[in-house]
């Protein structure tokens, strides 16, 4: 029998990118440009998420108590964005997604203070 060994996401050579897809582990980036594309996709998705969340929190804070429920809730990702490598689809690890969103929120909040 084949046993599937459980591996932590951080043990995979492609970390911090997705570690599991439909057919196993995501392959390592084959070029510098592929690495950059994966990184940019994560960063841009995280920034969109951060902007939506920060703007929502600010709008909610400016409404009188009890009336903030009329503000539409931003569409929040429930899972990390998907990348496609050689026709296979993978997700970024949840830890990396959470870290990317937290970093993007910090950057966006600082940029609004300038």
Query: Per-residue pLDDT tens for 50-84?
Result: 988 888 888 888 877 776 667 676 666 656 667 77
Is-cis flag, bond preceding 111, omega within 30? no
Mean pLDDT across 19-27: 55
What's the pLDDT score for residue 8? 55
Band (2; pLDDT cuts 50, 70, 90): very low
Residue 56, burial from CB neighbour count under 10 angstroms (0-12, 13-18, 19+): middle
Q: 0.85 exceeded by the pTM?
A: no
Cα(101)–Cα(105) distance, integer angstroms:
6
């Amino acid at each position: 029998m084949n046993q599937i060994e459980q591996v932590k996401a951080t043990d995979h050579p492609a970390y911090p990118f997705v570690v599991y897809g439909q057919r196993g582990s995501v392959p390592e980036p084959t070029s510098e440009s592929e690495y950059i594309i994966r990184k940019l996709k994560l960063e841009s998705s995280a920034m969109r998420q951060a902007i939506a969340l920060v703007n929502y929190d600010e709008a909610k804070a400016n409404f009188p108590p009890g009336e903030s429920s009329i503000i539409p809730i931003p569409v929040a990702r429930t899972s990390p964005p998907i990348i496609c490598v050689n026709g296979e689809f993978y997700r970024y690890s949840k830890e990396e997604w959470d870290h990317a969103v937290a970093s993007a929120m910090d950057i966006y909040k600082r940029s609004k203070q300038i």
